[in-house]
Amino acid sequence: MPANPCSPYRYIEFLIERTLQHKYGLKRVTEIGPRCDSALGYLDLNAIEFAWAVDYSQAALDAFKRRFSEEKVRFRLADVMKPGSVSDMACKCDYVICNSVIEHVIKHEALVGTMHSLLEPGGYVVCTTVLHQSMYNTWDHAVGHYRRYSVADLVQLFSIFSQIQVLQTSFIQELVRPLFFGRMQHLKQNTLEQNNLLTAAGHEEWGSVPYRAVWPIAKYAMPAYLVAEWGLQYVVGGIGFVIGRK
């Protein structure tokens, strides 16, 4: 059970990523764009050989360093969209995690190519993103999303991988999304680039998350939420999980 408040879809996200770590014995991990709520915080760091946190934002890495010892995680300031920025790391990882990043970049094909290059043959990538362009809303603009995706879009985008699976989830999360709009009104006039920079450093600009006050009770409802979402995954979902194998 997460110790700190997290959204329902983050709960599912980290559950899937930790399960993959143990199922396949993945030990050499790179997280691209960890932000302040990193997947590495939910993995079993005692079971890995090394973990890299790579981000283009120094503010994001500084926030990340406050949570993790450099004995467990190495930090790398790099723009993975630039050719050669992480070439020294090529084919050294068996697990790449990239949560909620591809929708924030213009050249998403280049980012997927970087993920592929970091993995050794047989390695796994997990990438989460938002689904359904028709559902693009105030929240998407406030956090700096350029787009949403269809399942077909994701299959095509990750076609460089030898195996790929796309899961849909967090239908309920999309239903409650309007509850967040009031916290984001001051961001509506910003450009997507400006909001991307704010998101990279964390969500402090938005104020306290709505579920923080009820978290001590709400966290115990997470297993029931997981069951409900699993039943709805083949119907519709607001978040897509891409699981690929090189």
pLDDT in tens, 41-60: 889 888 999 999 998 888 77
pLDDT band at residue 101, thresholds of 50, 70 and 90? very high
pLDDT of residue 21: 96
CATH hierarchy code of domain 8-245: 3.40.50.150
Alpha carbon of 159 to those of 45, 130, 163, 229, 245: distances in Å? 30, 18, 8, 26, 10
> CA-to-CA distance for 99 and 136, rounded, in angstroms?
18
The pLDDT value recorded for residue 51 is 93
Read off the tokens for 32. 């691209």
Query: What would the DSSP string read from start to end of 95-164?
Result: EEEEES-GGG-S-HHHHHHHHHHHEEEEEEEEEEEEB-GGG--HHHHHHT----B-HHHHHHHTTTSSEE
Domain locations along the chain:
8-245
Task: Determine what percent of the chain is predicted with pLDDT higher than 90.
Answer: 41
Other beta carbons within 10 Å of 6: 20
What does the pLDDT average to over 216-221? 72
